[in-house]
Amino acid sequence: DGGITQSPKYLFRKEGQNVTLSCEQNLNHDAMYWYRQDPGQGLRLIYYSQIVNDFQKGDIAEGYSVSREKKESFPLTVTSAQKNPTAFYLCASRRGSRQETQYFGPGTRLLVL
Amino acid sequence: AQKVTQAQTEISVVEKEDVTLDCVYETRDTTYYLFWYKQPPSGELVFLIRRNSFDEQNEISGRYSWNFQKSTSSFNFTITASQVVDSAVYFCALSVPYSGAGSYQLTFGKGTKLSVIP
């Protein structure tokens, strides 16, 4: 089945630790996105990538980093510089056409120990 | 800058009642896209509908209908004969094709939590 997978479903981070969230899609979509969702809030854009080896900061990129070495994969690293990382993280992808919809993965919930 | 407002934070209805979720948007662009997504308790956002700014026709899909009015910058969502499975958080979102970037970033409202009581 085609779709977007995110792993792990739950992730625990210790103080000072970097953690990486995985996002993979087999939809042959060009663009990929990372969003953060806090309780009672809408989604806020962290990073996005429209093509391989290129990515742009979103509204809340500080403390996060990404890479896009393959079209199918867009991992997000939450660094120790992100002081409040506890949130629900959603990955999305979109086909190259300018009118296309973003489709979302199941999400990863990150908790700080 | 773009903005989406969903003034209703939480709504509770009894099963089989109709319910309307409000969405008001702000943008200076003449070309834009509006979306509704459903987020059930599992967390994944499920795409429901996309409308472009040049198409003001209302749309009906089963028990769901959408009313797009540019004059009031609103894109409201109505569920007819609600069911318990409709319980979820519903997000309205706006996408604008930034010139030169073409990134079509989504700006989300804060969501409306709908609870359908049996």
Q: How far apart are CA A105 and CA B44, in angstroms?
A: 6
Q: Give the nearest partner residue to A106 out of B44, B102, B110, using CB atoms.
A: B44
Cβ within 8 Å of residue B19, ≥6 positions away = B11, B13, B78, B79, B82, B114
pLDDT digits (tens, 9 = 90+) for B12-28: 999 999 999 999 999 99
pLDDT digits (tens, 9 = 90+) for A49-88: 988 999 999 989 999 999 999 999 999 999 988 889 999 9
Nearest beta carbon to residue B105 from set A40, A45, A88: A45
Rg of chain B taking only CA atoms, in angstroms: 14
pLDDT band at B98 (very low <50, low <70, confident <90, very high): low
Token pair for B42: 């599992």
Chain B nearest CA to A40, separation (Å): 7
**A residues 46..85 contacting B (CB < 8 A):** 48, 50, 56, 58
**Residue B57, helix vs strand vs coil:** coil
B101 vs A contacts (CB less than 8 Å): 56
Q: What band does A19 get if pLDDT is binned at 50, 70 and 90?
A: very high
Per-residue DSSP letter, A15: T
Does the pLDDT value for residue A36 go beyond 90?
yes
- Decide if pLDDT at B4 tops 70: yes
**Residue-wise pLDDT tens digits, B59-82:** 888 999 999 999 999 999 999 999
**In terms of DSSP bridges, do strands B88-95 and B74-79 run parallel, antiparallel, or are they unpaired?**
unpaired
- Chains A and B form CB pairs within 8 A to the count of 61
Residue B39 buriedness (CB in 10 A; 0-12 / 13-18 / 19+): buried
